[in-house]
């Protein structure tokens, strides 16, 4: 995580060629996808004991994902995890107001807006977190604004475009996990990706059902926890590389 951030800083301040910067960013983009998993699990179970180190880590995550410190706490931990049984209220819900399923593009638009709108809607219920969120949002947006002002083209290549890609990927993965699953129990409300390689490189992100049951559980424990409850999950929701459904439905 810090390695990708260090490369981005080096490209911004020390690499003269924009084309070289663009090539390097394209090469490291797959590694940056791991920032999604790092961000997700960090806000459930902090990486560091020292708060200052957590904030530094979150600033680095912002420059990969576009999500500021405490934003995911309000949107995801206190929003999605509390409301995901109700897809019409969930900030990442897949249902329209009439209960019909959204198209993926609708979901992408709604999800993108809610990543930034929902923390302000929910925040007043958690004033301490909300104050911190607003302070840190102003800080990281200020830093990004300075970088854009100093070199707009370079900032677009190194910071802004990767942020957009990561945000789309975060929303896409939430769609896959939950679309079409209207349930009142955890076992039927999420899809799981059981591919070993996928879970190795994403810190067990595929074990989504057990993550919703124990959201504060460290990612390293999720595989074993999943095995304990796997028998309660319908087979079609425990998926590997050969039976993952086509759930994107672009434009339908």
Higher pLDDT, 247 or 139: 139
pLDDT surpassing 90 at residue 250: no
Contact yes or no for 35/166 (Cβ under 8 A): yes
| Helical (H) or strand (E) element with 82 | helix 81-83
pLDDT at 38: 94
Condensed to tens digits (0 to 9), the pLDDT of residues 21-72 reads 999 999 998 888 888 899 999 999 999 999 999 999 999 999 999 999 999 9
pLDDT at 251: 33
pTM: 0.90
pLDDT at 33: 80
pLDDT at 244: 42
DSSP state, 239? Answer: E
pLDDT at 4: 84
100: Cβ–Cβ under 8 A, 6 or more apart, which residues?
none
């Amino acid at each position: 995580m810090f390695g990708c951030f260090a490369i981005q800083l080096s490209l911004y301040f020390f690499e003269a060629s924009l084309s070289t910067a663009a090539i390097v960013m394209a090469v490291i983009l797959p590694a940056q996808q791991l920032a999604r998993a790092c961000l997700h699990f960090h806000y459930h179970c902090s990486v560091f004991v020292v708060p200052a180190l957590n904030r530094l880590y979150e600033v680095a995550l912002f420059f990969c994902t576009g999500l500021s410190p405490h934003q995911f706490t309000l949107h995801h931990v206190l929003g999605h995890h509390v409301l995901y049984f109700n897809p019409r209220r969930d900030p990442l819900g897949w249902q329209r107001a009439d209960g019909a399923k959204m198209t993926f593009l609708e979901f992408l638009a709604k999800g993108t807006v809610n990543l930034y709108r929902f923390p302000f809607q929910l925040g007043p219920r958690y004033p301490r977190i909300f104050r911190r969120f607003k302070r840190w949002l102003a800080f990281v947006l200020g830093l990004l604004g300075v970088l854009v002002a100093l070199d707009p083209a370079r900032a677009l290549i190194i910071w802004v475009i990767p942020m957009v890609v990561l945000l789309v990927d975060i929303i896409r993965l939430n769609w896959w996990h939950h679309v079409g699953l209207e349930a009142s129990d955890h076992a039927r409300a999420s899809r799981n990706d059981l591919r070993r390689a996928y879970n190795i490189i994403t810190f067990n992100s595929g074990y989504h059902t057990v993550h919703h049951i124990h959201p504060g559980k460290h990612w390293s424990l999720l595989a074993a926890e999943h095995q304990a409850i796997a028998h309660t999950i319908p087979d079609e929701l425990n998926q590997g590389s050969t039976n993952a459904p086509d759930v994107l439905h672009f434009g339908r």
